[in-house]
Amino acid sequence: MPAGRPTDYKEEYNDLAFKFSLLGATDKQMAGYFDVCEATLNNWKLDYPIFLESIKNGKGKADAEIAHALYHRAKGYKHPDVHISNFRGEITVTDIDKHYPPDTAAAFIWLKNRAGWRDCRDSTITFDNAEEYFKAIADSIAQSDTNPGPVL
């Protein structure tokens, strides 16, 4: 029989941990939801592998959904929609395709996280280093495995 205080951990916490992780909760916030300290939450992760797996699965699913949304925002997308109008008391509903243009900020975030782009500290181009700078850009493009396709 183990010594010490009995654990507050309950099996139903596995599903809750998944859902909290899916909503983006940090470990500190999750500990608050379970009314325990963060150290206890970390002990539960070690003592109950299914609990840890639930947290990892929730975070993984959330990250994948956000990456998917960011990807579509970065490249631009369209989706079916309806336009509802009222002209002289007559309501009309028209099927349309709603277009969202590519978003350069989303593209930049995507490239920083997925393609290893980084912020440049020195963006000064002088006549002396311009040829070297543009050669480096051309080499980088030539080594790229991806083809971004046409810009919409």
Cα separation, 79 vs 120, whole angstroms: 36
14 is a domain residue: no
* Token pair recorded at residue 132: 């070297």
5 is a domain residue: no
CA-to-CA dists, residue 18 to 13, 21, 33, 43, 148, angstroms: 8, 5, 13, 17, 35
The pLDDT score that the predictor gives to residue 124 is: 60
Would you say the pTM of this structure is higher than 0.85?
no
Domain span holding position 133: 74-143
128 is a domain residue: yes
At 57, the amino acid letter reads N
The pLDDT score that the predictor gives to residue 105 is: 87
- Residues 22, 33: contact at Cβ < 8 Å? no
pLDDT < 70 regions, the chain: 1-2, 120-130, 133, 144-152
The residue written with tokens 């440049």 in the block is 120
C-alpha triplet 67, 73, 74: angle, nearest 5°: 85
130 is a domain residue: yes
The residue written with tokens 């490239």 in the block is 111
The pLDDT score that the predictor gives to residue 125 is: 54
Count of the separate structural domains present in the chain: 1
19 is a domain residue: no
CB atoms within 10 A of CB 106: 17
- Residues 80, 95: contact at Cβ < 8 Å? yes
The pLDDT score that the predictor gives to residue 152 is: 43
150 is a domain residue: no
The pLDDT score that the predictor gives to residue 118 is: 74
